[in-house]
Structure formats: structure tokens, C-alpha cells
Amino acid sequence: MRKVTIGMLGLGNVGSGVWKVLQDMSQELMEQHQVQLNVKKILIRNLRMDRGLVLPEGILTTAPEEVTDDPDITHVIECMGGEQPATDYMEKALKNGKTVITANKMALALNWRRLKGAAREGKAGFYYEASVGGAIPIIRVLNDSMQANRIDTVMGIVNGTTNYILSKMTDEKRPYEEVLKEAQELGLAEPDPRADVEGHDAAYKLSILSTLAFHKSVPYESIYKEGISKIQVEDITAGRDLGFVLKLLAIGKKENGVMDVRVHPAFVQENHPLATVSGAFNAVYLHGSACGDMMLYGRGAGSLPTAGAMVSDLISSLDSSSFDAPDSAPETLEQPAVTDNWRCGFYLRFSALNQPGVLGHITTKLGEHKVSISSIVQREAVDETGVPVIVITHSANEKDVQAALLTIDPKIAQVISVLRVEGR
């Protein structure tokens, strides 16, 4: 029987989950993996807070060095969240040779080199399965099951809050503000929801996913971000009628060595595997040269799903030969080429004059910019302000579409909404 002494950083939602999983699974972990896991210290901020857990006397501490510097502790589970002080604590623990397991996508995406460098310096394992997709084992799959693949696309629904909001807006045809407020009341969205609804959280995760998928460092800053706060329910409904579902997608593509990395709302066809991922579920779709299409689906957040991924990481680390985390991300400082002129389909909604020649004007202007049309729908006017015209384009360059829209005469057709369409 191997004994492992653990230190924990944080005992909030995820930390409590880790504690519960360690208690719940102790018998199985002994039987199946011949290991006994003991938590020696847990760093918290407030010693008096009631967490509803039965904890051994003296296990809680407010001194980080009691976790990061204790030579008895060989494994540190970081579940504080936030960039700092989590990054500093993890760095210290790694330099001290402790295996670190984290769910902290923000700290990781913003400090990838620093943390990986500390792991190398301390000859320490560094594991972060729980940082993307909660319980979904996408990190392990990218690192350990895709070696024979040249991955060209990784595309995910990786933020539960926005997926919940968009699913509700779609199913119940309710406006963004109303659904956000409800999500906040249910605890599914933060009081300050910007990290989720503006796409930052998804971009942290995309930085990690695309770095692993493409074997090139993809910094958070290089990712284009657009959130869901301006989405109008009219567009969701109109797209639905045309067979599309709106999702906040984290999209990574690589073609001829050039990256295309972006987070924005996008329509996917209703028969795409990602279209049925609703509510708080997450999914990551990928396409590789050998495997073809693949998708992993599961709970993207939550106390137990995240904690389970972290404890599984811990067990894996015990069987690993390499001190470093098993990943094939490069350590070079070379920045990848990132395009800002990606290709995808577009959904365009106009408010047009109700007179002959309007559709001709729109299609001509788009055609002049090499934007070809897949379908066009003119709807009945809802009021005197204009006739809704919806255009779905074939795959086109972002900049061509933007340029074409500038040449459409607003007195003839006003551009109301521009949304992207993804698929394959």
C-alpha cells in the first residue's frame, strides 16, 4: 500500500468536492490502485466559515507555506481559482518538487510557460485535466490518444453559463437580460457575469485546448473574443427556423501552419453533434487526420465532476514515469501565425425596404466581395420599419463579408445582425 500525503489550496465548491471524493472513494482507491490518500493541510481564507464538512482537528490553515513548503506533502491540489495568488502558490509547490493538480484555466492560460518552467525546474508533475470541460477527459485524450493524428479542428462548448443562457433563450424564446437575471438568481451565473458572457472563460480554455491540439503555444491574447450579451432572441428564432442552433463556440483551427482561434456565438446545423449539447453540459468536438470526427460530452463544471477529474489526475500521476505532465505542448517562445481573416459561413439579418430590387442590391454587393449565398429568406414585415431579410452565406472570408456590408446602402437595407455559422 502506497501512502500519499496531500495538501489542498482552497476549500470552496471544488475543494469540498475533492474532499468528498477522497472520502467516498478511499476504499476503491485502496483496492484498485493500492494507494491511501491522506490530506494533511488545507489552505483557506476564513477559519470560522462553516463548510458543512467533518474535518480533522488542525487540518485547516491560513498559511500557504504550510502546504507549499511542507516536505511531507508530495501532491498539491489547487482549487482556489483566479490568477493570483494561485499561480504563485502553484509555482512554489512545483519548484519544491510537489506534483500539482489544478482546475484553474485562468492561471494556466495566462501563465503556461511560467508554470511549466517551474514544473521542469522542480522535476514535478503538473496536471490540469479539470481546467477544461470539467469531467470531460479532453486533456488526456489530446495528450495520450491523438498522437497519430494531425488535428485540424477543435471546437467546443466549454462554458456552461453561456450554454445555459443560450439554451433557455432558444427553448423559451426569452430575451438575454431576463434569462441572465434568472441564471444569476439560480447561482448559474456570477453577480458580475462578464468573464462568462464576454467569452473570457471560454478563451482561457481554448488557449489550453489549441496549444495541446496544435503543438504550438496559443496565447490567450491571440484569441478573438466576442460574447453573447448582444444576442437578440429574434436571431436565435430565425436561425432555428432555418435549421440552426446558436452556441457560444470556442473554435481552434489550423491550416497550412496558420491558426484560427476565436470565441464567439455561432450557428451550427441542428444535426451537428454540438447542436444537442444543451443546458450546463459541455462538449468538445475535434477532427483529426486519422480519427475523423470525434466528440466528448459531459458535465463541464460542478463540484463533483471537477473534483473527480482532479482525483483521477492524482491517481494517474502516481503511475506516470515522467515527472512532467504528459503533454506535447512546445516550450518554445515562437509565436504562431494567427489569422484575423478566417473563413466561415455567415448569418446576416437586414431590415429592408419593401420594394423590388432590394434582394438584388444585397446579393450584388455580397457577390462583388466574393461572398456567395446559400439561402435567402424574406419575411413578412412586422411593422413599418422594414422587411426582415435573412441571408445565409457559404463559407466566406470575415473581411470580405465586413467589407461587403459597408457597401450596402443603409437606405435600402440596414444591417441588423451579423452572426457566424460553423460546421463541418
Q: Which residues bind a copy of itself (CB under 8 A)?
A: 17, 21, 24-25, 28-29, 31-33, 129, 135-137, 140-141, 144-150, 215, 271, 273, 276, 281, 288-299, 302, 304-305, 307-312, 315-316, 319-322, 326, 328
Q: Are 252 and 218 in contact (CB under 8 A)?
A: yes
Side chain identity at 7, as an amino acid letter?
G
20 among known catalytic residues: no
Look-up: residue for cell 473574443?
225
CB of 330 to a copy of itself, least distance (A): 9
Q: Which secondary-structure segment (H or E) carries 266?
A: strand 258-269
Interstrand relation of 413-422 and 258-269 (parallel, antiparallel or unpaired)? parallel
How many Å apart are CA 77 and CA 86, to the nearest integer?
11
Task: Give the span between the Cα atoms of 207 and 221, in whole angstroms.
Answer: 9
Q: List the one residue out of 182, 49, 50, 53 whose CA is nearest residue 39.
A: 53
Tell me which DSSP letter residue 383 carries: B
What's the grid cell of residue 5?
500525503
Q: Which is nearer to a copy of itself, 276 or 364 (CB)?
A: 276
Length reported for the chain: 424
What amino acid is encoded at 142 in this protein? L
Of the pair 53, 377, the CB lying nearest a copy of itself is at 53
Looking at this protein, which amino acid is placed at residue 83? E
Q: What does each C-alpha distance from 250 to 128, 209, 259, 417, 424 come to in angstroms? A: 18, 9, 13, 20, 15
User: Who's near 308: CB < 8 A, 6+ residues apart?
Assistant: 17, 21, 135
- Choose between 110 and 307: whose C-beta lies nearer to a copy of itself: 307
d(C-alpha 397, C-alpha 84), whole Å: 39
Q: Closer to a copy of itself at the Cβ: 85 or 298? A: 298
Strand partners, 337: 258
Catalytic residue (one of 92, 105, 205, 253): 205
Which is closer to a copy of itself, CB of 275 or CB of 396?
275
Which C-beta is closer to a copy of itself: that of 68 or that of 153?
153
Q: Give the residue numbers marked as catalytic.
A: 205
